[in-house]
Structure 1
Amino acid sequence: FGGGSHEWLIDGGRGGRNLDARNNFFWGYTVNTPAMVLKMVGAGSQYGVVATDANGAYLDGSKTYKLTVDANVPAKDFWSMVVYDPQTRSELQTGQLLPSKNSKRNQDMVVNADGSIDLYFGPTAPQGKEANWIQTVPGKGWFACFRLYGPLEPWFDKTWQLNDIQPLG
Structure 2
Amino acid sequence: NLDAKNMFFFYATGVTPAMTMKMVGEGSQYAGAFVDAKGNPLDGSKTYRLHMPPNIPAKDFWSFTLYDNQTRSMLQTDQQSPAVGSLTKGLLVNADGSVDVYFGPKAPSEKESNWVQTIPGKGWNTLLRLYGPLEPWFNRTWRPGEIEPM
Using the size of structure 1 for normalisation, the TM-score is: 0.84
Task: Encode CA deviations 1:82-117: one digit per residue, 9 max, x unaligned.
Answer: 10101111110001111101212x131111121111
User: Which residue in the other structure is 2:11 paired with?
Assistant: 28
Moved over 3 A (4+): 32-35
Counterpart of 1:98? Answer: 81
Gapped runs of 5+ residues in structure 2?
Answer: none
Q: How does 1:53-64 map to 2 (within 5 A)?
A: 53-64=36-47
Q: Distance in 1 between matches of 2:10 and 2:109?
A: 36
Higher RCO (CA < 8 A, seq sep 6+)? 2
CA contact (8 A) 2:89 2:113 kept: no
State the identity as a percent.
57
Q: How big is each residue's C-alpha offset from its partner over 1:57-87, in whole Å with a ceiling of 9 and x where there is no partner?
A: 0000000000011111111100011101011
- For 1:67, the equivalent position in structure 2 comes to 50
Structure label with greater radius of gyration:
1
Determine the C-alpha separation between the residues in 2 that align with 1:35 and 1:74.
Answer: 16
Structure 2 CA distance for aligned equivalents of residues 44 and 34 of structure 1: 8
Equivalent position to 1:45, from 28, 32, 55: 28
For residues 85 and 48 of structure 1, what CA distance do their matches in structure 2 show? 16
The equivalent of 1:123 in structure 2 is 105
Describe the SS at the equivalent of 1:118. Answer: strand
Shift of 1:38: 1.0
> How many aligned positions are there?
150
Q: How well do the aligned residues superpose, as a CA RMSD in angstroms? A: 1.3
What one-letter code is carried by the residue in structure 1 that aligns with 2:117? Q
Please list the CA deviations of residues 99-158 of structure 1 after superposition, one character each: whole Å capped at 9, or x if unmatched: 101212x13111112111111100011112111110000000000000000011111111
Q: TM-score, normalised by structure 2?
A: 0.94
Q: Name the residue aligned to 2:92.
A: 110
Pair 138,53 (structure 1): closer, same or farther in 2 beyond 3 Å: same
User: Which deviates more from structure 2 when the two are superposed, residues 140-149 or residues 121-130?
Assistant: 121-130
